[in-house]
Amino acid sequence: MISNNMSIFLIFISAMMVNNILLIRFIGLCSFFGVSNRMETSIGMGMAVIFVMVIASIVSWLVYHHILVPFHLEFLRTATFILTIASLVQLEEMVIRKNSPNLYRAMGIYLPLITTNCAILAVAFLNIDYNLSFFKSIIYSLGVSLGYTLAIVMFAGIRERIELSPVPKSFKGYPIAFITASLMSLAFLGFKGLFGL
Amino acid sequence: MIGQAILVLGGLGLGFGILLSFASRKFAVVVDPKEEKILEVLPGSNCGACGFPGCQGLAEALAKGKTEATSCVAGGAEVTKKVAKILGVEIEPKTELVAFVACRAGIKQAKKKFKYRGLNNCQADALLFTGDKSCVYGCLGLGSCAKVCPFDAISITAEGLAVIDPKKCKSCQKCVKACPRNLISMVPRAQEVIIICKNRDRGKKAKEVCSIACIACRICEKACPQQAISIVDNLAVIDYQKCNQCAICVEKCPQKAIGVRS
């Protein structure tokens, strides 16, 4: 369990490796299988997730602690976070489109996709559940998103290699991808107990 | 409690709505109407042969006048004409190129040295003892070119040879880069007479590895009335500027290494 008393380093490692959001928690799997066909797209998705997740957790933390808690409306957090994250991604898209067309072209289609990515919402919730302070919640979301990128990039690399291999016909495509993902997940279980986490 | 909940959630929604509407005003991006029109006529396959990041990138560059109307390679003359019309400029016709695989030696003509069972791509095959084909210049036929073709123009025949359909080829040159043997080259679309071999071995050795290899016998060089053919590195080369496609060389070649594109 992560708590606010833990050091920044431990929170970061726990978020990125020990409790990897894709391979240990199994959150955000739709994009994990959807956009991991090619290395390029998975890197694009990973970068967009890092960007959106950090900003979304900053804003959702502020909204929760400075709007919901004072009014005793903690039970509204699901609806509020969905609203917050959706508007936030819209805003980000506009700002990026105006200020940096190259970045917009690179992230382009991934930004709207991320609006409905459960990993983003999960991190916003986990920040609250773990009672993390503002600064530590940023570190935590950075760790989670880097873990997401790490997992999806590795997965894309393996899938690109599998494309070239003589896979039995009944295993072609998603079945072999699922098997690969489960083996990767087993490998990540090896991090359990690292630094006593 | 309910009142507070409605107020807070409604207030948040209203706040975000107002923020977004202001932002959309402030961060509005003015898109050149020309750019949208150009994007519509471009092929939209994002092949990148023009050197810009996808069709969107080219449309932007065209609208700003950064590049010439003939930039779209894949679209050919038709798209160029439409783009020029939108931009209001005159264009000179450009020779259209299509990709061509210079090898027609199947299993019968060039034997296999061993049975290859590795990765299903030509690069890996070429690395393993110079590939399974007896001729080290020949088509390996595992389809690395077909996989990169964004227009589905390349097919692999039963004999294990890559064949490009000139009707489907949009000359994006992706296959040219993909072929580990450098067998694919760009040939003018109108050019029908082509040397279908890349073998640079000397006569006898070339004949040993493949029954239809160019053996650099110089018969075509002497027979050509236009003097368009020359032998470079033991391989016949046609100068497309001089060639008038009389096809005398096709008849004279003892190895049938010069052919007419099917």
Per-residue pLDDT tens for B188-223? 888 888 999 998 888 888 888 888 889 888 888 888
Q: Within a domain: residue A88? A: yes
Domain that includes residue A39, residue range: 32-190
Core vs surface per residue A9-45: b (16+ CB within 10 A) or e: ebbbbbbbbbbbbbbbeebbbebbbebbeeeebbbbb
Cβ separation of A79 and B9 shorter than 8 Å? yes
CATH of the domain at B49: 1.10.15.40
Q: Within a domain: residue B24? A: no
**Could you tell me if B75 and B48 lie in one domain?**
yes
pLDDT band at B110 (very low <50, low <70, confident <90, very high): confident
Q: Within a domain: residue A6? A: no
Q: B125 burial class (0-12, 13-18, 19+ CB within 10 angstroms)?
A: buried
ipTM above 0.95, yes or no: no
Q: Within a domain: residue A91? A: yes
**Could you tell me if B142 and B195 lie in one domain?**
no
Beta bridge partners of B162: B156
Distance CA A52, CA A28 (A): 14
Q: Within a domain: residue B12? A: no
**Could you tell me if B229 and B262 lie in one domain?**
yes
The tally of domains found in chain A comes to 1
**Could you tell me if B70 and B109 lie in one domain?**
no
**Best interface-test mutation with A: which of B4, B6, B7, B16 has the largest number of A CBs within 10 A?**
B16
Q: Within a domain: residue A93? A: yes
pLDDT at A138: 94
Query: Which residue, of B127, B157, B190, is where some domain finishes?
Result: B190
**Could you tell me if B53 and B83 lie in one domain?**
yes
**Best interface-test mutation with B: which of A66, A69, A83 has the largest number of B CBs within 10 A?**
A83
The tally of domains found in chain B comes to 3
Q: Within a domain: residue B19? A: no
Domain that includes residue B158, residue range: 95-190
3-state secondary structure of A110: helix
pLDDT at A57: 92
**Could you tell me if B106 and B174 lie in one domain?**
yes
pLDDT at B46: 77
CATH of the domain at B201: 3.30.70.20
Question: Closest by alpha carbon to A145, among A48, A24, A42, A18?
Answer: A48
Q: Within a domain: residue B15? A: no
Report angle CA B141, B147, B151 to the nearest 5 degrees.
Answer: 115
| B25 reaches A (C-beta below 8 A) | no
Q: Within a domain: residue A144? A: yes
Question: Closest by alpha carbon to B142, among B89, B194, B183?
Answer: B183
Q: Within a domain: residue B44? A: yes
**Could you tell me if B153 and B233 lie in one domain?**
no
Core vs surface per residue A127-137: b (16+ CB within 10 A) or e: bbebebeeebb
Cβ separation of A73 and B5 shorter than 8 Å? yes
DSSP B20-85: HHHHHHHT--PPPHHHHHHHHHS------TTSSSHHHHHHHHHHTTSS-GGG-TTTHHHHHHHHHH
One digit per residue, pLDDT tens: chain A, 197 residues? 777 788 888 899 888 989 899 999 898 888 888 888 888 888 888 888 898 899 999 999 999 999 888 888 888 888 889 888 888 888 888 888 887 777 777 666 677 777 778 888 999 999 999 989 999 999 999 999 999 999 999 999 999 999 888 889 899 888 999 999 999 999 999 888 877 66
- At a CB cut-off of 8 Å and minimum separation 6, what does A32 contact? A22, A151, A152, A155, A181
Beta bridge partners of B97: B188
